[in-house]
Structure 1
Amino acid sequence: MTTARERSLDGASWDALLGSEDGDLLQSWLWGEFKQRHGWATERVLIDGASGTAMAQILFRKRGPFTVAYLPRGPVLGPGDTLAADLLSGIDAACTARRAILLVIEPHQPLPPSWLKQAGAFAPGPASFQTSRTVKVDLVDDAALLAQMRKDTRYNITYAMRKGVTVEHVPVNAVNLDAFYGLLGETAQRNGFGIHSRAYYEDFLDCFGDQAVLLFSHAQGTLTAGLIAARVGDEARSMYAGSAGAHRGRGDAALLRFVAMQWARELGCSRYDLGGIAPAAPSGASGAVPGSDLEGVDKFKTGFGGTIVAYPQPVERRYRPRIAWLVRHVNARFRTAPGQELPSDTQPG
């Protein structure tokens, strides 16, 4: 019989353990600390047992006297189902203490079979808050990195180098933050998406410290693009990026990602997550959904080679079903996504 116990860790130890368990950046202590600066509360559940470790970081947002709970890209749970019951009990206790109406889980991996087999324990969730697919690249040496890229991506990088485009790691200060936010705002306006306040990106860089980097590309002395990347454990990720519309098409964006991969590799990372790409096309087709907002992003990021990773669909656990119904009625973002069903694929035992 496995005896499990719940324990707590400091931030550095949590993130070290998360990295050793191949957990996601959104389950990191640093991410939780960052989100606390922007209206969220954080609870962490850590279960130790003879068979391994299980972890979950839950974010809570106030809704009157209650909260809405969110578990992004988690939980972290090894093969098998032995700690699943204890972990779910810990998650339920945290949600009950915080008076959660509901919990939305966007899994990093398939959820434990024992969770999904409980009648009424989970319901299909809303549409993903995070992107449902991404591209992850193994951080081999430069020659191998270039060799695995699509021909046009490789050409764009070498073309940018020949034309004198430079990429530099810049200090995080007011001037550079203003410049980055300007690039981000221009990109958002050009592509029709929303962005956070300037303070949001400043706080992100402050929380992640030397585990994040701000990169700028310049062409003939003119700022052309910027990127913020961060790492936890063996994996780094493109988090936020923007570019100047007047200077697009010269390979700056591709070179920027290439340098970000080099930065991650120097820190000891073995993988680089290029960030979200478009949802998958309907069954029987290939690539991204035609006409998707992310279709161009899909083409750009898949050009680096690597592996496309598709995440399981969100699920929802309802602690106060009547109030949860009201939340879905008032806020369309929490309504069950059309065609969404509980996952049928389960974690391998």
Structure 2
Amino acid sequence: MELRNISSQDSWNRFVQEREYVPFLQSFEWGAFQEQQGHRVERLSIWNREKFCLGASIIHHRLPLQYNFLYCPHGPLFANGLSLEERRAAFAFLFQYLQRVYKTSIFLRCDPHIKLPSRFDTSRVSHWVQPEYTQRLSLEHASQEAQLLANMKQKTRYNIRLAFKKGVRVARGVRPADFPLASRMIRDTLQRRDLRAHPLSYYQNMLEYGRISETFGIVRLYQAALRGQVLAVGIFIFYGDTVTYLHGGSSQSLKSVMAPYALHWQVICDAQIEGFRYFDFGGVAPPSQTQHKLTHVTRFKTGFGGAQVRASYLYEFPLRKNVFRAFALAKKFRHFL
């Protein structure tokens, strides 16, 4: 087998978009944004003679003491039509390459949509980076808006109509002046719900980079407002066959006008008009857990219809076992301080 770096945006995206529910986290554009954030990104491919077997966009994340870990979000991705043994061999080749070349990388973290056919040891992981479950809405079988509305829960339909009746209007935010308010609203909402939030600069950089760069033109900001007052915002990714709800927030003011319902409905309509096959609401609580930090947002998302699906399987593969054990012990000790 042979490993090759892929630097062509078209070649990389052509491979990524071969599958259903295209994972934007493996897109060339997402890697470009991570590079803009200061991370090293590599797009590696494994070939068996001239047969393409596997692709992995890998992000280097810095750790203390000049160490780092490698993260392959929603990957690696296998070529269609491979046998189980071919997938095992391709992943083994990738793992052994990373272990041989990256002497300061402690572990490889992966969270693909499917289980990995790996025989390598993994560590027990308690912290999910990407959602384990998501709510996914199919747009290709609903030819009209009325059909999408009919598949929703009655309360959701009512709230959508109420929002527009009250005068809520939804538009794309494209001005740089829109970005600070949207970023603060997203951060404040996540903190209010005791969910992990990025620094304000992360959201603003994403929106600004999407505005000025054709490379990352897949990101869109939507805003729902009443008489000029922004009440809800959302960052959405339009990529491949799927529109994904990435980050969102809402104001504590005028909650009775149901602005978030109008916002999501408008994005769903836009996605359908533009020919996307799926709308992904992002993380929801696992089906068996009624008391979960995502329970509140799960009620909101499932009201729009669709199906709850397994979105990722989380793995951590130690590349330097002794250093990894020391790192895990230090992290556990810090947790109890």
Give the TM-score category using the shorter length. 0.7 to 0.9
Q: Which amino acid aligns with 1:131?
A: P
* Residue among 281, 284, 290 paired with 1:277: 284
Which residue does 2:113 correspond to in 1? 108
Counterpart of 1:29 in structure 2 is: 28
Distance, in Å, in 2 between the alignment partners of 1:291 and 1:178 is: 33
Displacement of 1:6: 3.9
Aligned residue for 1:128?
A: 128
How far did 1:186 drift?
A: 3.1
Native 8 Å contact 1:126 1:333 kept in 2: no
Query: What amino acid sits opposite 1:158 in the alignment?
Result: R
Gaps of 5+ in 1: 282-288, 336-349
Amino acid at match of 1:107: P
1:124 and 1:314 in contact (8 A); partners too = no
Superposed, 1:131-146 pairs within 5 Å as 131-139=131-139, 140=142, 141-146=144-149
Structure 2: distance between partners of 1:35 and 1:92: 25
| C-alpha displacement of 1:84 | 3.5
Correspondence for 2:14: 16
Change (3 A) 1:246 1:87: same
Q: Aligned partners of 1:334 and 1:58: how far apart in 2?
A: 27
Deviation of residue 189 (structure 1)? 3.9
My pick for the range that moved more, 85-94 or 219-228, is 85-94
In the other structure, the counterpart of 1:86 is 90
Provide TM-score, normalisation by structure 2. Answer: 0.86
Q: Give the Cα separation in 1 of the matches to 2:236 and 2:323.
A: 38
**Contact 1:102 / 1:320 at 8 angstroms: preserved in 2?**
yes
After TM superposition, the structure 1 stretch with the greater mean CA deviation from structure 2, 147-156 or 178-187, is 178-187
The verdict on how the C-alpha distance between 1:144 and 1:241 changes in structure 2, with shifts beyond 3 A counting, is same
Following the alignment from structure 1 to structure 2, what is the Cα–Cα distance between the partners of residues 104 and 96?
17
Measure, in 2, the Cα distance between the counterparts of 1:290 and 1:171.
38
Aligned ranges 1:131-280 → 2 under 5 Å: 131-139=131-139, 140=142, 141-173=144-176, 175-205=177-207, 206-207=209-210, 209-280=216-287
Query: Secondary structure of the equivalent of 2:292?
Result: coil
Structure 1 residue 318 corresponds to structure 2 residue 318: yes
What letter corresponds to residue 241 of structure 2 in structure 1?
Answer: D
1:187 Cα offset (Å): 1.4
The 3-state SS of whatever aligns with 1:296 is: helix
CA distances 1:57-107 after superposition (whole Å, capped 9, x unpaired):
122112323321122211112353224412431343235423221112212
Q: Displacement of 1:123 after TM fit?
A: 3.7
Amino acid paired to 1:11? Q
CA, structure 1 residues 92+36, in 2 after alignment: closer, same or farther (shift >3 Å)? farther
CA 243–275 in structure 1, closer or farther in 2 if over 3 Å, else same:
same
- 1:112-151 CA-to-partner distances (Å, cap 9, x unmatched) read 2xx1xx3x53343343112211011112331221111111
How much does 1:153 deviate? 0.8
The CA distance in 2 between the partners of 1:29 and 1:106, in whole Å, is: 18
Instruction: Name 2:76's counterpart in structure 1.
Output: 75
CA 1:4–1:96 in structure 2 vs 1: closer, same or farther (change >3 Å)? closer
8 Å CA contact 1:226, 1:242 repeated in 2:
yes
Partners of 1:279 and 1:326 lie apart in 2 by 31
Count of aligned positions: 320
Q: Deviations over 1:21-61 (max 9, x none)?
A: 33411111211121223343212222356776421112211
Rounded to whole Å, the distance in 1 between the matches of 2:316 and 2:71 is 9
Do the aligned residues in 1 keep the contact of 2:53 with 2:90 (CA within 8 Å)? no
Give the match's secondary structure for 1:102: strand
Give the distance between the partners of 1:209 and 1:38, measured in 2 at CA.
Answer: 13
CA distance in structure 2 between the aligned counterparts of 1:138 and 1:108, rounded to whole angstroms: 17
Deviations 1:254-282 (A, max 9, x none): 1111111222233331101101111332x
Distance 1:184 1:96, change over 3 A: same
Shift in alpha-carbon separation, 1:304–1:17, aligned structure 2, 3 A: same
Q: TM-score, normalised by structure 1?
A: 0.83
Q: What is the alpha-carbon distance in structure 2 between the residues aligned to residue 168 and residue 111 of structure 1? A: 41
CA pair 334-295 structure 1, distance change in 2 beyond 3 A: farther
In 1, Cα distance between the equivalents of 2:182 and 2:305? 27
Deviation string for 1:176-227 (max 9, x for gaps)?
Answer: 0122123223313432334223321132231464312111111233211111
| 8 Å CA contact retained: 1:125, 1:313 | no
